[in-house]
Amino acid sequence: MIRVEMLSTGDEVLHGQIVDTNAAWLAEVLFSHGLPMTSRSTVGDSLQALVAALTERSQIADVLIVNGGLGPTSDDLSALAAATAQGVGLEIHQEWLEKMEAFFASRGKPMAASNRKQAEIPVGAELVDNPVGTACGFAIQLNRCWIFFTPGVPSEFKVMVEQQIIPRLKQRYTLPEPPICLRLTTFGRGESDLATELESLPLPEGVVMGYRSSMPIIELKLTGPASQRVAMEQSWQQVRLMMAEYTIFEGTEGLPALLARLLQQRELTLSVSEQFSAGLLQWQLASADVALAAGNVLPSQPESLSALAVRTAALAQTNGSALALSVGGFADEQLGFALHTPEGTFAQQVKFNINRHGLKARQEVVAMMAMNMLRRWLKGSDVTTGHGWIDVLETIKV
């Protein structure tokens, strides 16, 4: 098995001042190519620490992808650390320097002297092209390890991984068939409840069931080798049946994207009115290109469930949309929802204890529940049920 690792650099990453999204992205990309990441670590802007980390990991990993530290400033130390670990000096890569100068000239700007640093790589290193930025990547061999150095800017890093690093790995190694990962996302039940129900399900050899909790959803992942595909599909069918009432989407599509697709298929538009969710619902829908006819955000105010239903029906009529979705105000752990459809207006008053969570988390729960009402109607399910930890106090249809 090829041991592939990642080393992220930078004090801002080490101290949590920025989130290392590059690491999560790389892990998923490597997994999809049959190269699950075996380890990842972070080191700050210290030459001594960088050299130590490179030396240590080069004695363990087959491939190490180093991210960050290729900029023009004094705290960008990756190239110097690589050269120091190898016991060689740095040299200007003349071709890259000329490319940088042309880049700045094409924009009518002089290149700062500090940018020359971005054309410095260890003597004997292989240039790794960066087609969208000024920091060149490079690769070295240190001990048993093939080490790639990449800039920290996500847009540059991703292009280099996909266009430069993955092709090189495929040329050198015979990559195994990627593992299979079957996913579905649930809403309305806790992680321990799901695990208790699913733990009795027999799984094929080498296959594991994973759980990822991200308020307000729980993602289930069945992961295993490609050789177990048929057996995994059979087990997955059982999971689907057991989780049918709580599943909101499969794969990685996301609920807003699913709604956009279903509405487009039926040529339906949606109007939205929000109180407690304060525009979050409309933002999530618009981000997925849901066909929105209109939307408003209102201050929270006392309102009966029947009044909410009537107002939602009027919203659809006013804006000429077949569908309208409303979120009411939140008080005493209770909240009203209404969905107007060609079949009538469905409304429900619910109670749930989420005050231990912050406002943002509570609004996300509410937006998810509103979208799930719409999903259930589009799928032909009962609109006002399907929430295990949310008590439905009253439902009406007008």
Q: What is the pLDDT averaged over residues 116-145?
A: 95
Q: Give Cα 162 to chain centroid, integer Å.
A: 18
For residue 49, give the CATH number of its domain: 3.40.980.10
Q: What is the pLDDT of residue 139?
A: 98
CA distance linking residue 12 with residue 345, whole number of Å: 51
Higher pLDDT, 54 or 350: 54
Judgement on whether residues 119 and 187 belong to the same structural domain of the protein = no
Work out the average pLDDT over 194-221: 91
One domain, residues 80 and 115: yes
* Domain end call among 133, 151, 172: 172
**Tokens standing for residue 216:** 């307000």
d(CA 10, CA 249): 37
pLDDT of res. 367: 95
Residue 108 lies in a domain: yes
Q: Mark whether 293 and 240 lie in a shared domain.
A: no
Whether 384 maps to a domain, the answer reads yes
259 domain residue, yes or no = no
pTM of the model: 0.76
**Tell me, what's the pLDDT at 361?**
84
Q: Please give the pLDDT value at position 190.
A: 82
**156, 212: one domain:** no
Q: 238 with 293, same domain?
A: no
Q: Does 193 share its domain with 125?
A: no
CATH of the domain at 209: 3.30.70.2860
| Same domain as 117, residue 12 | yes
Instruction: Please check whether residue 48 lies inside any domain of the structure.
Output: yes
Q: Are 66 and 159 members of one domain?
A: yes
Pairing relation of β-strands 180-187 and 247-250?
A: antiparallel
Residues 19 and 146 in one domain: yes
Q: Which of 151-155, 246-250, 264-268, 350-354 is predicted with the least confidence, judged by mean pLDDT?
A: 350-354
Q: What range defines the domain where residue 205 resides?
A: 180-250
Express each pLDDT in 24-41 by its tens digit: 999 999 998 989 899 999
Average pLDDT, the chain: 93
| Residue after which a domain boundary falls, among 222, 250, 278 | 250
70-71-77 Cα angle (round to 5): 55
Instruction: Please report, for the domain that includes residue 295, its CATH number.
Output: 3.90.950.20
Residues 137-145: what's their mean pLDDT?
97
Shared domain for 135 and 164, answered yes or no, is yes
So what's the pLDDT on residue 216? 82
Q: Which pLDDT does position 10 carry in this prediction?
A: 95
Indicate if the pLDDT at residue 214 is higher than 90.
no
162 and 190 fall within a common domain: no
pLDDT tens for residues 52-95?
999 999 999 999 999 999 999 999 999 999 999 999 999 999 99
Q: Which of 55-69, 111-125, 160-174, 204-218 has the lowest mean pLDDT?
A: 204-218
Number of domains in the chain: 3
Whether 392 is in a domain gets the answer: yes
Sequential DSSP letters for 277-344? TTTHHHHHHHHTT--EEEEEE-------HHHHHHHHHHHHHHHT-SEEEEEEEEETTEEEEEEEETTE
Residues 69, 161, single domain; the answer is yes
Q: Which of 17-21, 147-151, 265-269, 380-384 has the lowest mean pLDDT?
A: 380-384
pLDDT of residue 354: 60
pLDDT at res. 387 = 64
